[in-house]
Chain A
Amino acid sequence: MTTEILARIQFAFTVGFHYIYPPLSIGLGVILVMMEGMYLKTKNPLYEKMTKFWVKIFALTFALGVATGIVMEFEFGTNWATYSRYVGDVFGSALAAEGIFAFFLESGFLAILVFGWNKVSPRTHFISTIMVSLGSMLSAVWIVVANSWQQTPAGFHIVGQGLEARAEITDFWAMVFNPSSVDRLLHVLSGSWLAGSFLVISVSAYYIIRKRHLDFAEYSLKIALLLAGFASLFQLFTGHQSAVGISKTQPAKLAAFEAHFDSLAPAPIYLFGWVNEEQQQVKFGVAIPGMLSYLIYGNTQKPVTGLNAFSPETRPPVNIVFQTYHFMVAIGVLLIIISWLGIFLWWRGKLFRHKWLLYVFIFSVLGPQIANQLGWMSAEIGRQPWIVYGLLKTSEALSKAVTTGQIWFSLILFTIIYILLFVLFIYLLNEKIQHGPEEADEIQSEYEHQKLVLEKNKTF
């Protein structure tokens, strides 16, 4: 295999594995704020029990997010040195801002969130929870800004010629608010809220079916369902906004989403299908004629730019983009149905009566995870052959000093380590779930607990 393919596989694998965890942290962070906020408001110890349990799960996902995230920070330099030289002036500031504004906030207050229960007042603890949640979302802001700049570069100019050429910043805010940043950020955030809320829904449904920790599980599930109901609809809205944006900024990607080849024709939307790229046809497809034209222009007859408008070497691979995109949309729709069915039954007072729905809830945790991965695949593969859209090709962005053998070595090691990490993660997650929340008689109110700890410390 060539260095390029190997380097791409390595980046895709490491970033894909990393992306299991940050969305969980972002989503759980919001749920923790909701739970602890309810605790402070109602003083109901059940909410405290919930917060403490989910903090433990949060800490686990956070640790894996940090461990796999450090790799990402440096992989641009190790595998994509030419890219780093080309974009460092623009892209680097977003990464540095992420470090200074988000990571310090997150990791600092995480210490209080996890270890500070007996060290600070409940109020300060709640503020720390908010800060951690805010920090995790801020890191999404900066990393999505950096990635969006690769999709729709803005606020820069090219200096130098040939090998010396590089992008230099001309307008920082134009770079930050490049044409796709906001749409994509909101899409990423609501995808993360879905990841967190469906994890809570899944674990809670499991407890309910097993008739364990019933109060705890029912309350947790309801809180998560509220977030899921909002986020699943919001996801549809932000997805639509993104697609309209892409029709203007990256028409080749949008055309690949729907395998639309002929620029002069109104474009349909496929429910499913299999793209034959040679014949430029969608096989076994079911389409709604003119629907893509309608969604973008509000007119079913208006032509949409097709793939044939681009020279063959600047088109993305079509079928994989088509499939990943369609599966993502299908899962998104399913999540809307599941969460709103749940909310409807909750309103009718029958939420926990349907066993089949609880089983669906248990497996629903996979939905946002798979959709998040697929969404990123269609976004990133749909940008090919460009690493920075219209400016720099992926094949030209590699490290010149790195050999195929070196990438094989690191790729094999990453694979072994990440498989090990994933097995351990699932194992520990399962342990925590089986152990369940600490029972009420084990933890008194936080005030009592503090007194107890103080007493104990005095006797030493």
Chain B
Amino acid sequence: MTPLVLLLLAQSPSLVSVTGYLDSRTTAAETLGDGAAGLNELVEGNVQLKLTPHERFTVQADASLFWQGAWFLHGGDRDLPQYRPMVVLSEAYVDASPQESVRLLAGKKRIVWGSGLAFNPTDLLNPPKDPTNPTFQRAGAWLGMLEFPFEKVALSAVVSGKTMQQYAGLPTALVWYPPSPSFEATLGWVPDVRDDEAHWAFMSRLYLLVADTDVTVSLAYTNLYNDAFQNKTRPGLSLSRTFGGLEVHGEALWQAGSSRVEVTDGCEVSPVQCFLRGVPLASRPFLEADWLNVNAVVGGRYYFEDGGIFSTEYFYNGDGHDPAGFQRLGTLFKQYPALVQAALGQSQDPGTPQQFAFVPLRRHYLLLSYQKPQLFDDWTVFASVLASLEDLSMQLVPQVSYEPWQWLRLTLAAYIPLPGVPEWGVTIGEDSYGEFTLSAYGTRVLFTARAFF
């Protein structure tokens, strides 16, 4: 604890707020690929701490300890790193206001400026989230922020260093890779991908409340931060407004070129031959391209008089593949999933474990969801469908929750991938796959019990 914090604690009565939950997620799944677990138990203990020693100074933290177990692994039971216990420090920061409209923040925090709920194209900082349930992702990024907040205007500037290596939820290397390779790389389990570059991002935004509309204009500069772009400047815009019971929003990010991975033509069917000939299996051919690209979301939420909420978002992913590119990528993925995952890059802190990890590969997506709370007082029904509009494959998520007491929530959900139109997806021999049926999992059933304290 810094001397400044101790001084403030000594000068004023401290106000400590502690909350959190204990959560158990049990998943039974139809497994289709190597390493997929038929039965998975994930137990999370979460603590959220808020310390307010002074009205202009707060310290906040949000940490989770996960214990995981996986059984009935496809391909035979064995130890897999992704199912080991882990600590996730989602947030830990100090937040100070030396003056009325000046804010300084340092630490790890999830900052989202865009108005999208399931998709946030302007969010270049945070770990990815599950669009069918964004609440699963709580983790932010290590950053420093200077903000000038006013009632209807805010100016913010953020500098963030990418987590290059972490242990027990704490970074052991920020911005630059550590001088020594990781333990797994030393053993040859994973490739040594270290470089000498600084991995960082600068984000700025101007927020305005104009004509009852939230307007956010942002400008991002990133260098090898959560994608392969170097020295990339990207403007963004976000809008949100309500009209009676209807909320409408839009969010867009513009950039030159794309960081998408293209599989070399022909290598998807004979990757070994490409390797032997020295032909790269995949590349990022549009990193330096100067054509204008956009990632954008438009959506809305309608609040019914009975408490129901209908929500929809259309996501245009300018970094997505055309049909031929998707056919090559999908074909390679079905044969060598680990190879493609490595090529796509797991270049960021994944944050908290997600029930549905979404990596958009195509260009057009539609999310529809409907929630009806307080059915028979304590029941909530929820259903969402995330569809790839180019092959009409989709992830369907029906869910029902029951709250017998205010401190306990029980949820039963299913994750059902539907294949869509065979001719529009990936065809390998006589088999066809849609974008949402490429995964190693078929239908999954999830039971969650969460006790709040």
Verify that A and B bind, or say they do not: no
